[in-house]
Amino acid sequence: MTRNTFVISGMMAALGVCAVIYSLSTSEAAASSWPVVRSPIQKDVAIESKIDDWLAKMSVEQKVGQMIQAEIKSISPDDAAKYHIGSVLNGGGSWPTDKADGPLGAWLSMANLFHGASMDTGDGRLAIPIMWGTDAVHGHNNVVGATIFPHNIGLGAANNPALMRDIGTITAREVAVTGIDWTFAPTVAVAQDARWGRTYESYSSDPKIVAELSKELLIGLQGHPALDNFLSEQKIIATTKHFIGDGGTQAGDDQGDTVMSEDDLFTIHGQGYVQTIGAGVQTVMASFSSWNGDKLHGNQYLLTDVLKTRMGFDGFVIGDWNGHAQVDGCSNISCAQAVNAGVDMFMVPEDWKAFQANTVSQVKSGEIPMARIDDAVRRILRVKYRAGMFDSGKPSAHELAGRAKLIGHDNHRAVARQAVRESLVLLKNDNDVLPINPKSKVFIAGSGADNPAIQSGGWTVTWQGRDQVSRVMNPTSYYKNHITIAQSLTSAVKSAGGTLVDKTDMQSADVAVVVFGEEPYAESDGDLTSLNFDLAANKDFQILQDLKAKNIPTVTVFISGRPRGVDAAIDISDAFVAAWLPGSEGGGVSDVLLDNEYGFKGRLPFDWPASSDNAATTYRYKRGYSYVSSTQSGR
C-alpha cells in the first residue's frame, strides 16, 4: 500500500493556521489519489441538532423546495414562499427592475421582499431564510457603477495572491451593499485550450496559479475562522466552480467532454477544489461538461464519492443553469439521476414549479431515497446557519446594506487600478518605445481605445457585454464612472504638458497608441475553431499599416479574453502589450505606458499562439513569458 501525503499549507500557515498534513492510503483510493481535505469550518453540533429538528417537521414539498433556485424574473416573493423555494438568483444581465441602470436601492428592496416572504410563517409555512446568488465574478458586475476588476485571465497574469484577497474583500462589500448573500465565484477552471469561450474566466493553464489565486479570492469573499471574520456581515457565501474539468474539454468546446485519466483530472483540474475546500468554501457548482463522456451533473462518483465522501466537502453542490437537463433521460423539469448523483440545489431558472412537483413524485415513488433529500437539505441549511442567515434579520438590517457610497468607492477603484497595472504583459518593445514620455505628441487610435464594453468584456451589466439578439455592445451608460484607456491617457499626457494629435495630424506624432482586440462575449458565444485573429479586413490593423508607412513609433495595446494569433500586428508594432480585459480602470494601462514608477509586472498566464490555420498548436511565446523578464537577468 503506498501512501500519499499532501501538505496543505500555503497561506494557511500565514493565517496562523498551521500547515495541515493529510495522509491518504491509496489502497482503496481510485486510480488517482484525491486528498482528504479538512475545512477550517468543522461541523457544529448545535447547528446539526437544529437541522435535525427542521428535517423532522418539513414536508417532502418543503424539503424539495429548499433544493431549488429560481431566477428572479420567473418567481415572485410570494410564490417563493408558497413553494418553499430555498434560493433565487439573478442571471447575467438580470436586474431587479427592467433597466440595467435602475435605482441601486431596487436590489436591496427586492432582497428584503424575498427574505420577508421566506420568513413569513403564515399558512403554516416554515421560516427558513431564502438565499440570493449572483455572478459577481469580476466585481459586482451586474450592478451599474460597481468596481469592475480585470477578468481572471488578467489577474492570473498579475499573479499577486495578496491582491486577490483584497479583490475578494471589496467584491464581498459591494455585493453586501445590495443585500445579496452569495456569489458564484471563484472559477477554478484551468483552461487548456484558449479556443474556449470562457478562457478569460480562468486564471491560468497552470494549476498552481489557479489554486493559489482562487484560495486567496475565496478568503477575501467569505473570510476565514483564523481571521475571525468568517461569513461576517461584510462577507458573502462563495462558490468554487465548475466541478470538475470545465477548462479541459476537447478543442475548448464549451460544455463539452474532458477526456483524460482520473489522475490527470485531479492533477490538472482538481487543485482549486483542494485549496478552496481547505479554506472553507461553502458551495461548489457542478460543471456543464462531461468527464470521459459522462455529464458531471449526473456523475455520482465525482460529485459524491470523490467531492463529498473522499475530500470531505460538507457544504452543498449547486447545479448550473438547467445543467441537470443535459444528463441522459433528464429535462429542465425532471432529473432524479442528478439528485441521486449528489446535486443538492438545482438552478432551475424558469421551470422550478414543474421540477419541484416531479421531484416530489420521484421521492414518493422511491426513485429518489428520502435519505438523499435529507442529506441535500441538511447541507443547504448548514450553509444558511453558518452564514448566520437565521439570525441576521432582513437584508436591509445588515451592516453594509444600502451604503451606496461603497459601490465603486475610490479606494476600491484604486485596488482595481493596481490590478490592471500588474496584469499587463509586455510582449515586445523595440527601440524602447515604452515607456512613453507624457510630454510628447501622442496619437491615440483603435476600436478599443475609448470603448468601455470592449474594455470590460462579458459578464458586465449584461451576460454577453452586448445585446444577445442584436449583438450590439452595451450602451456607454452601463459603464458609469468607468475610465477608458483613451480617457486616462489623454488626461495624463495633457496634465504633463504633452499634446494629443488627431488622425489628420498623425504625421506629427512622436508616438502612436493603438488599442483594439476582441468584442465582448461569454460562454459558448466565445468558442472558436481557431485562435487566429483575422487582420485582413481589420480597420485597426489598417491604422497600424498606415503608421508603419509613416514611420511613426507605435504601441499596440491588445484587449482580449485570451491569447490570439496576431503575428502580423505584433510584427508591425514597435511595442505590443497584452492587456486582457481590464474592466473599469483604464487608468491602470496609461499608468504603465507612461514614464513613471510602475513598469510591467505581468507574465503570460497561457501560451501565446503563432498565427496559423490552427493556432492551437504552435506558439510564439510560452506561458510565463514577458519581454521584461526575457531582457533583464535575474528576474
Catalytic positions: 320, 523
Beta carbon of residue 88, minimum distance to ligand GLC (angstroms, whole number): 12
Q: Are 583 and 155 in contact (CB under 8 A)?
A: no
Beta carbon of residue 114, minimum distance to ligand GLC (angstroms, whole number): 17
C-alpha separations of 409 from 331, 406, 415 in Å:
44, 5, 10
Q: Is 184 in the site for ligand GLC (CB under 6 A)?
A: yes
What is the spatial distance between Cα 156 and Cα 610, in angstroms, rounded to a whole number?
21
Which residues within the stretch 124-143 sit at the binding site for ligand GLC (CB under 6 A)?
135
Beta carbon of residue 265, minimum distance to ligand GLC (angstroms, whole number): 19
What is the spatial distance between Cα 6 and Cα 501, in angstroms, rounded to a whole number?
59
Q: Which is nearer to ligand GLC, 69 or 271 (CB)?
A: 69
What is the spatial distance between Cα 191 and Cα 248, in angstroms, rounded to a whole number?
6
- Residue 357, classified by CB atoms within 10 Å of its CB into exposed (0-12), middle (13-18) or buried (19+), is middle
Query: 469: left (phi > 0), else alpha (psi -120 to 50), else beta?
Result: alpha
Q: Which is nearer to ligand GLC, 91 or 105 (CB)?
A: 91
DSSP 434: P
Beta carbon of residue 138, minimum distance to ligand GLC (angstroms, whole number): 12
Q: Which is nearer to ligand GLC, 343 or 492 (CB)?
A: 343
What is the spatial distance between Cα 215 and Cα 147, in angstroms, rounded to a whole number?
21
Q: Are 339 and 359 in contact (CB under 8 A)?
A: yes
Beta carbon of residue 141, minimum distance to ligand GLC (angstroms, whole number): 11
Q: Which is nearer to ligand GLC, 320 or 527 (CB)?
A: 320
Residue 565, strand partner residues: 532
CA 224 to chain CA centroid, nearest Å: 20
Which residues within the stretch 239-258 sit at the binding site for ligand GLC (CB under 6 A)?
241
Q: Which is nearer to ligand GLC, 323 or 609 (CB)?
A: 323
What is the spatial distance between Cα 547 and Cα 540, in angstroms, rounded to a whole number?
11
Q: Is 320 in the site for ligand GLC (CB under 6 A)?
A: yes
Beta carbon of residue 6, minimum distance to ligand GLC (angstroms, whole number): 28
What is the spatial distance between Cα 440 and Cα 437, in angstroms, rounded to a whole number?
6
C-alpha separations of 49 from 45, 66, 344 in Å:
6, 18, 20
Q: Is 321 in the site for ligand GLC (CB under 6 A)?
A: yes
Q: Is 166 in the site for ligand GLC (CB under 6 A)?
A: no
Q: Which is nearer to ligand GLC, 247 or 448 (CB)?
A: 247
Which residues within the stretch 77-116 sit at the binding site for ligand GLC (CB under 6 A)?
89, 91-92
Q: Is 558 in the site for ligand GLC (CB under 6 A)?
A: no
* Residues ≥6 apart with Cβ < 8 Å to 4: 23, 24, 26, 29, 33, 35
Beta carbon of residue 346, minimum distance to ligand GLC (angstroms, whole number): 12
Q: Which residue is nearest to ligand GLC (CB)?
A: 184
Binding track, positions 196-235, relative to ligand GLC; x by CB under 6 A: ----------------------------------------
- Which among 210, 341, 362 is positioned nearest to 276, based on CA atoms? 210
> Considering CB under 6 A, how many residues would be counted as binding ligand GLC?
8
Structural element, H or E, at residue 555: strand 554-559
Q: Which is nearer to ligand GLC, 91 or 225 (CB)?
A: 91
The grid coordinates of residue 406 equal 461603497
Please give the full DSSP string across 101-142, using - where no structure is assigned: TS-THHHHHHHHHHHHHHH--GGG------EEEE--SSSSTT
Beta carbon of residue 63, minimum distance to ligand GLC (angstroms, whole number): 23
Q: Is 316 in the site for ligand GLC (CB under 6 A)?
A: no
Asked whether the bond before 609 is cis by omega within 30 degrees of 0, the reply is: no
Q: Which is nearer to ligand GLC, 187 or 626 (CB)?
A: 187
- Residue ranges that bind ligand GLC, judged by CB under 6 A: 89, 91-92, 135, 184, 241, 320-321
